[in-house]
Amino acid sequence: MTQIPAGWYPQPDGTQRYWDGNGWTEQVAPTAPPQAAAAQPQSAPVQPGNPPVPGAGPSPATPEPSARPWYKKKRVLIPAAALILIVGASAAAGGNRDQSQPASAPAASVTAAAPSQEPSDASDDATTDATAEPTEEGDAPAAPNAYDEAYGTFSRITKNGRGDSIVKLPAGASAGLVTLTHNGSSNFAVYVLDSHNKSNGDLLVNEIGDYSGTTAYGFSFDDDSKKLKITADGRWTLKIAPISTAPEFGAKESGKGDKVMLYNGGAADYKVIHKGRSNFVVLQETGGFPNLAVNEIGRYSGVVPIEEGPSVVIVKADGAWTAVRT
C-alpha cells in the first residue's frame, strides 16, 4: 500500500486538515498555511466528497509536484542529472574539439606561413637582380688591351716554305711579332717592305746558317710595313702574332738568341749579361723615343736603366743572355 505523505489537505467545508502520514490529526486550519497557500495555486481542483481515507490512496486533489515525495522528485532529478551529464559531456566534447582544433592547425599554420613566403620570393627576386648585374657586366666588351690599342690586333698567321719568298703582313696593324726558324747553310735574312716594295730599313734577321728566334716589325721610323721579304737557302717557318701576345719581361729573364717581351713595371735597373760573338742589342720601345739600353758586339756585362712601362723590350743576340733587376 502506498503511504500518503504528511501535509495539509483541503476539506469539503473549505478548511484544511493535517495528515501526519498515518492518520488525520485534530489540527484544522481555517485558511491554508503560507506554504500551502503558495502551493495552492498549483494544486489540482478539489473534488468534494473525496477526502483521503486512511489506508486508501490519496484523493485526486493531490498537490502539484512541489509537494511530491523525494522519491518522485528523484525520478525527475536523476533524468535531470543525466541531462546535465549529457550536456556536460557534450560541452566537454565540444571543449575537447575546440582544444583539439589546433591539431588541425596546419591549415592555419600554412596560412600564417604564406606571408613568410613573400620574403622568400623577395630574396629570390633580389638574387635574380643580383645575378643579372654580373651577366650584364659579362656581356659588356672587355677593356681594350693597351698594346692592341697601340699596335693593333689580328688573327695569327702561320707560313712555311723553302728558299726565297714574300709574305704579306696583316692589314690594320702597325706592328707585330715574327717568330722564325731556318734550317740551312747560307744567309738567312728577313726584310720589311713598304707599299712600293722597297725596304723601309727594318731588318728583322740577318744570320748565316740555322736560326730560331722571335723579333718584331713596325718599330722603324718608317711605319709603312706591308710585306716580309725572306731570303733563305733552306726550309723555314714563320708565325706572325699581335704584339699583345708577347710574354712579360719580369724581374729575372734569360734566353738564347732573339726575344720580344712586354714590360709593364716602373723605372728600374737591370744587370744584363751576354755570352756571344755577334751584335747584342737591348732596345726598349715606349711609344716615344726608343731606349737603346745595350748595343755591343760580343760578350757583355753591365747594369742598364729600363724606363717605366708599358713598353716593348726587344733583345737581339746570338748567344745566351740574362737580365736581372737590381
Helix, strand, or coil (residue 38): helix
- What's the predicted TM-score (pTM) here? 0.56
Q: Is residue 55 part of a domain?
A: yes
Cell numbers for 81: 542529472
One domain, residues 157 and 188: yes
One domain, residues 156 and 236: yes
Of the three residues 23, 47, 68, the one that is the final residue of a domain is: 68
One domain, residues 158 and 242: yes
One domain, residues 268 and 214: no
Print pLDDT tens along the chain (326 aa).
556 777 877 777 777 777 777 787 777 776 544 444 444 444 444 444 444 444 444 444 444 444 444 333 444 444 444 444 444 444 444 544 444 444 444 443 444 444 444 444 444 444 434 333 433 444 444 455 899 999 999 999 999 999 999 999 999 889 999 999 999 999 999 999 999 999 998 999 999 999 999 999 999 877 789 999 999 999 999 999 999 999 999 999 999 999 999 999 999 999 999 999 999 999 999 988 999 999 999 999 999 999 999 999 999 999 999 999 99
- Beta strands per DSSP E along the chain: 7-10, 16-19, 24-29, 157-162, 165-168, 176-183, 187-193, 199-208, 211-217, 227-231, 235-241, 252-256, 259-263, 268-275, 279-285, 291-297, 300-306, 311-316, 320-325
Please list the residues that pair with 285 across neighbouring strands. Answer: 312
Of the three residues 220, 246, 272, the one that is the final residue of a domain is: 246
How many folded domains does the chain comprise?
Answer: 3
Parent domain of 309:
248-326
Q: Is residue 119 part of a domain?
A: no
- CATH, residue 323: 2.60.120.380
Q: Is residue 45 part of a domain?
A: yes
Q: Is residue 130 part of a domain?
A: no
Calpha distance 13→105 (Å, rounded): 75
